[in-house]
Structure 1
Amino acid sequence: MPKSAPDLTVPTRDRLLDAFAELLVEGGERSATLDAVAAAAAVSKGGLLYHFASKDALIDGMLARLDALANEDAENIRTAPAGPIDYLIRTSVHTGSPLDRAYIAGSRLAQGRDLRAMQVLSDIRRRWLQVIEDAVHDPDTAQAIMLISDGLYVNSSLAENDLRAEDGAAMDRLIGVIDRLLPRP
């Protein structure tokens, strides 16, 4: 069950996707029934079915949202004023952002072997990796940077993490270490 009452000023379709993601994050796919999603979004089941005719349609909607958020993030990485690596690393900690929630919800579906979720998550990671490869011009170094990013994210998502986004000095030190990995011209 979502932690707070839904904001009824948010469009119904978005409330349904928010509720579905929250249920997936908090309790996994089994807890995210159509009845539970409708109740969590403060929508009748008929209202849910008006927007999403089936659970598959709801999954497709949530994955489309995840993909759109990740596309936006890839562009933010690519165009970051301080550079792609700096942006990627500083944003590789869980903050509860809409992208974080959608990503974890998609991961929960992938854990249940949903092939669509597995494909979307794979495509997202490939997209982020390509942005980093374009920045460093070395696929092996780009892969190492992505693995550092992945580790930061998992650690901050699942455990109490000593490294937080707001700890600028610690992030600066980590980015300095990564900078030493970069190939020199």
Structure 2
Amino acid sequence: MRREELLDAAEDLLGDQGAGALTLAAVAERAGCSKGGLLYHFNSKEALIKGMVERLIEDFDQLVAAQGHDTYTKNYLAATFEAVRTGRLRRWAVVTGASGNLLLLAPLREAMARWHREGLDDEPDPVAAQIVRLACEGLWDVVSHDPALYDDERYDELKRRLLALLPA
């Protein structure tokens, strides 16, 4: 059993049944492996949650890096809208909701701080860049609670308006 498949199973379990259902035995069952197979990769529930958080950060970093814009904020904005439209942000809600332990979310807090500082000195208007990044955070939060809130037309308009806040 691969590590990624175990993380997928844990995220699916969280999304379907909530944080109370996240046990090592339930994840192993969902993944179709033995508990020992799961323990080989994750020796505790905390290690499993940490693995999910780390994967979320890495996934978003890769998504930002894959964009082809001239500033970090434009890449961040494009990555946010791609994540929202593809349902990837649902993972954020279920994973961050799984941990009542703030120490397990420390890597996510560090990543958020990095994402909000990254490239600001290179932005033509650093304050506008911060406003757009904060608006992205608000979109993440709202859409994680109600994924069907906006249709494609509304996303296009929101993205267009946020881009308009940034100097060309």
> TM-score range with shorter-chain normalisation?
0.7 to 0.9
Deviation at 1:137?
5.7
Please say if 1:73 is aligned against 2:53. Answer: no
Give, in whole Å, the separation in 1 of the partners of 2:69 and 2:130.
22
Contact 2:63 2:79 in 1 (8 A): no
Q: What do residues 123-178 of structure 1 show as CA deviations (whole Å, max 9, x unaligned)?
A: 121121122524426554333222111122222222233354895455223321x2
Identify the structure with the greater helix proportion: 2
| Residues 25, 143 of structure 1: alpha-carbon distance in 2 compared, 3 angstrom cutoff | farther
Alpha-carbon offset, residue 19 of structure 1: 0.9
Percent identical pairs in the alignment equals 31
Q: Note the C-alpha offset of 1:32.
A: 0.9
Match of 1:37 among 27, 42, 53: 27
Q: Any stretches of 5+ residues in structure 2 without a counterpart?
A: none
3-state SS in 2 of match to 1:91:
helix
Match of 1:92 in 2: 80
Separation in structure 1 between the aligned mates of residue 90 and residue 33 of structure 2, nearest angstrom: 21
Count of paired positions: 164
* Aligned mate of 1:26, from 16, 19, 27: 16
Provide structure 1 residue ranges, at least 5 long, that are not aligned to the other structure.
1-10
> What pairs with 1:1-185 in structure 2 (closer than 5 Å)?
11-76=1-66, 80-81=68-69, 83-93=71-81, 94=84, 95-97=86-88, 100-110=89-99, 112-117=100-105, 119-131=106-118, 133-136=120-123, 140-159=127-146, 160-162=148-150, 164=152, 168=156, 170-176=158-164, 178-179=165-166
Aligned-residue RMSD, C-alpha: 2.9
Change (3 A) 1:166 1:140: closer
For 2:87, give the aligned amino acid: G
TM norm structure 2: 0.77
